[in-house]
Chain A
């Protein structure tokens, strides 16, 4: 009698475990490979964002320098025209 109960209980227990185990769905090997590829893509894009951010900063500095050169050229033109007048006056005075 006792043996029968134990047998039944064991069978029920084993069946329950197998059912739980069997019903859980897992990612396949291909799925995992796809996930790794996607992670690598994201990592690569992050790196690209970092690189582009640095490039943008560099470009901003270059533009600033170019703007300064332009401003200097404007001032230089004014100064040159003024000095040319003085040179001409000096030549005429001689």
Chain B
């Protein structure tokens, strides 16, 4: 019993002491603390050196930049003095050129047809722009480029106006005179200069011409000049299947074309003539 008491007391003591030591391990040993403090002090010194170096370099860069600024400003003052102007004078010409650019932009939005009627105005505008070439401020690169760019834009607009051609009408009209017949009308220089194209006149005027051999003075015929979207002008070598292939992408659709043009083709769908104008129904 005594032995047991002593052993138990010993173990208890060991346990208490070990627990105490374990708790103390959470604390830092003085030696470790000192080592870390020394390490941090070393780092601080290194970092302070870096900070000082960086501050020095930044100040040096600022001085360098200020030197460049001063030199640049001096150069610009010399440039303005040579031209005989100042910053305000340059801003003034810039504002005037911006106003001219706005006017040019308005013209640029116009159609070629409208420009064709504004050519004198555009030429006057160009003269206003080009007049700045006599201004000493034109020597400045920015002004030089702007003036030349605006002058070029004026030229382009004038050219657009000059190049404009009104679209040709899709039909002319012709009034039949005594002695006319379709072959003769078609052969006239101001009509087709080709008598073989009489079928065009016949096709376009089916409502007035029942018999192509019988036309009357004072009849007014349409003279087709350009193919309409819903038309097909027959060419040499065409047949309905070929036309259906070209128009619908399928030769089988030839019936659709034939049905729409029965009155001009007649009963024989295999026989169509060059220069006939066929109506093409929508797919």
Contacts and interface: CB of A to CB of B under 8 A. Distances in A.
A70 B3 contact: no
B76 interface: yes
B19 to A, nearest CB: 11
Contact of A70 (B54, B55, B57, B75): B75
Contacts of B29: 24-27
B138 interface: yes
B127 interface: no
Interface of A is mostly: helix
A87 B134 contact: yes
B110 interface: no
Interface stretch (B5-13, B232-240, B270-278): B5-13
B90 to A, nearest CB: 11
A38 B40 contact: yes
B30 A26 contact: yes
Say which size band chain A's interface belongs to. 35 or more
Interface residues of B, number: 56
B33 A73 contact: no
B15 to A, nearest CB: 11
Contacts of B51: 45, 48-49, 52
Interface in B1-58: 2-3, 6-7, 9-10, 13-14, 17-18, 20-21, 24, 27-33, 36-37, 40-41, 43-44, 47-48, 50-51, 54-55, 57-58
A61 B163 CA distance: 51
28 contacts: A6-B7, A6-B10, A9-B10, A10-B9, A10-B13, A14-B13, A14-B14, A17-B14, A21-B24, A24-B29, A25-B30, A26-B24, A26-B28, A31-B33, A32-B28, A38-B44, A41-B44, A42-B40, A48-B47, A52-B54, A53-B54, A55-B54, A67-B68, A70-B72, A79-B141, A80-B82, A84-B82, A87-B134
Given A31-B30, A59-B58, 10 more contacts: A14-B10, A26-B28, A34-B37, A35-B28, A49-B50, A49-B51, A52-B50, A66-B69, A66-B72, A70-B71
Interface of B: 2-3, 6-7, 9-10, 13-14, 17-18, 20-21, 24, 27-33, 36-37, 40-41, 43-44, 47-48, 50-51, 54-55, 57-58, 61-62, 64-65, 68-69, 71-72, 75-76, 78-79, 82-83, 133-134, 136, 138-141, 144
